[in-house]
Structure 1
Amino acid sequence: MKKRVKGKSLKEIQPNTTYMGCTFYLDCVDGEDFVGTEFDNCSFRGSFCDWGRDECGLWMGFTYKDVHQVMRWIRPGTFMMGSPETEEDRYANEVQHQVTISKGFWFAETACSQALWEAVIGTNPSQFKGKKFPVETVSWDDCNAFTEKLNEQMKEWQCCLPTEAQWEYACRAGTTTAFSFGDSITRDQVNYSDTEYGTVEIKSLPFNNWGLYEMHGNVSEWCSNWYDEYDISITVDPVGPNDGTGRVIRGGSWDCPPWYVRSAYRFSVEPCGHDRDIGFRFCLRSQ
């Protein structure tokens, strides 16, 4: 039976509760707390200033220096990481194996925009300028400087790059095909190599089943892991090797052939490396 809470100012949400006329001051929230909740005429303040549910699941938004960013709640689950040997154009480093993501996390619904990057860092290194375009020409080191600076302002969060497993889990969004859209793609779905040149605005192409935009193509995205062959003996929350020479890049980009933008495709770049086709998206976890 659901609890009912009326007319209170609250700093936390509890599952299986109906809230009526409440005001929430949320600096950090776990998406699992929203299981079974209902809200009637409530308002949200604090770092997380708005929220909602739609056909893709739960989302929450925050605003940083007038730039709004929506985060999608990615629930825990188990999936097949890598590609089957029957997948067209696959590579040997995509050995398929079962992986469990044991904890949910908030994942940015888009690659980091130039507007948000400028709000946090103060400069814009991108070659294809536009506030609604993804930031690019950023190294892994640059992206970690971004997350560290955002963490200084939002102390209740741990803002970080996703692990490679988290990234592929979110990209697949419950699918097992080469792309989250099926076993083939069109340029109406993904920005990959074409006569057109460069990135497109974030949220200008279709989202996947979990509400994430441009996980395939547009800009490649940094992950937290060092790159190596998969250690398939680690099946729960793998974080990759302890060291290496390159960090994992996922998703392919605007100047890649279609087989580079598959859900399983993986390659690496040195942490100091940057190019006009490499960007990132970040995740948030509670401290």
Structure 2
Amino acid sequence: MTRLSSLFWLLPLTQLFAQAPTYTNSLGMEFVLIKPGKMIVGRFQPTYPKPGEATQGRGLNWTAEDYKLAEKLATQDASPGFPVTISRPYYIGKFEVTQAQWQQVMGSNPSVFQGSKVSGDAGQHPVENVSWQDAQAFLKKLNQLEKGKTYRLPTEFEWEYAARAGADDEIAWSEIRQVAQMGTRTTNKVGQKKPNAWGLYDTLGNVWEWVQDYYNEKMFADPKPPRSGKQHVLKGASFVGDVKNATYTTHAAGPGNGWDVGFRVVMEAR
């Protein structure tokens, strides 16, 4: 046995098969490694006014019965959520797929809000105005171009797990304003706001993002995603939203407005 092979057998398996924390493919698409872990999905604990709070600055005269009703309604809507385990590592796009990347793969640009050549961001806005089927067509061609790699849309749970970046609770409004591209008149160049804790940009705002799963006609996902449906799930809200819409936990159904819908890509880890 050679010295090299001897060292090989002495290395721990976790080191032998360790995945690089980031990866950039031949098209310049950047990916971040997401490691296995757990989260609670669908937890919803709505707040409600309590005596001494509801009338502050609002000019409201709440009675004891009003407070009790508010508490009752909040309790009815509350949900403990359910645990989800992400058992396998995967790479996910650091940014939403850009118009330049779409152009490279598909040879066209369907986007309504195309970047300005004058400002130097032409092609760096997220691609939008794409259907779920359009995203699948892009992925098919990308897989043909990138031999030996497997690209796909994230599942809803993979998307949420990556977007949360370890957070247990809903994101605070003050944090939303730092990370989310919202309240603007057009899409924005990707990566202009603060990334989340795992280095992903624009998971909230800019464009809604397609995921693989079918929509279940509910506010939150189910523990087992439906195997069929009329529409697919969108996550993350868009540039026309506000902080109330910027959430990891709820989901919407496509096709949405079209002009504010895009996606990001998962690359399977080997």
Same structural fold, with TM-score higher than 0.5 when normalized by the shorter chain: yes
CA RMSD of aligned residues (A): 2.5
1:87: Cα distance to partner? 6.1
CA distance in 2, matches of 1:137, 1:95: 36
More strand by share: 1
1:183: Cα distance to partner? 5.0
Gaps of 5+ in 1: 6-13, 18-31, 35-50, 52-57, 235-239
Match of 2:246 in 1: 261
Deviations 1:191-232 (A, max 9, x none): 212xx3111110111100110001011111000000114433
1:164: Cα distance to partner? 0.3
CA distance in 2, matches of 1:61, 1:124: 22
| Residue pair 1:138, 1:274 contacting (<8 A) in 2 also | no
1:86: Cα distance to partner? 3.0
Larger radius of gyration: 2
| Residue pair 1:137, 1:278 contacting (<8 A) in 2 also | yes
Counterpart check, 1:224 vs 2:209: no
Q: Using a 3 Å threshold, how does the CA distance of structure 1 residues 202 and 94 change in structure 2: closer, same or farther?
A: farther
Match of 1:102 in 2: 87
Other structure's SS at 1:215 match? coil
Q: Using a 3 Å threshold, how does the CA distance of structure 1 residues 125 and 94 change in structure 2: closer, same or farther?
A: farther
Counterpart check, 1:246 vs 2:206: no
Match of 1:20 in 2: none
CA distance in 1, matches of 2:142, 2:47: 39
Counterpart check, 1:203 vs 2:191: yes
Other structure's SS at 1:245 match? coil
Other structure's SS at 1:261 match? coil
CA distance in 1, matches of 2:261, 2:129: 6
Deviations 1:213-272 (A, max 9, x none): 01011111000000114433x4xxxxx2111111000000101122211111201015xx
Match of 1:279 in 2: 262
1:159 to 138, 143, 151: 151
CA distance in 2, matches of 1:281, 1:151: 15
Q: Using a 3 Å threshold, how does the CA distance of structure 1 residues 4 and 264 change in structure 2: closer, same or farther?
A: farther
Q: Which moved more, 1:273-282 or 1:119-128?
A: 273-282
Deviations 1:125-153 (A, max 9, x none): 11111211100111100000000111112
Deviations 1:165-191 (A, max 9, x none): 000000100002322xx3544544322
CA distance in 1, matches of 2:236, 2:79: 13
Match of 1:63 in 2: 26
CA distance in 2, matches of 1:147, 1:108: 13
What is the letter of the counterpart of residue 180 of structure 2?
V
More helix by share: 2
Match of 1:135 in 2: 127
Q: Using a 3 Å threshold, how does the CA distance of structure 1 residues 94 and 257 change in structure 2: closer, same or farther?
A: farther
What is the letter of the counterpart of residue 69 of structure 1?
M
Match of 1:74 in 2: 34
CA distance in 1, matches of 2:94, 2:25: 12
1:111 to 71, 96, 102: 96
Other structure's SS at 1:157 match? coil
Match of 2:18 in 1: 33
Give the TM-score taking structure 2 as reference length.
Answer: 0.76
Moved runs in structure 1, 4+ residues, more than 4 A? Answer: 92-95
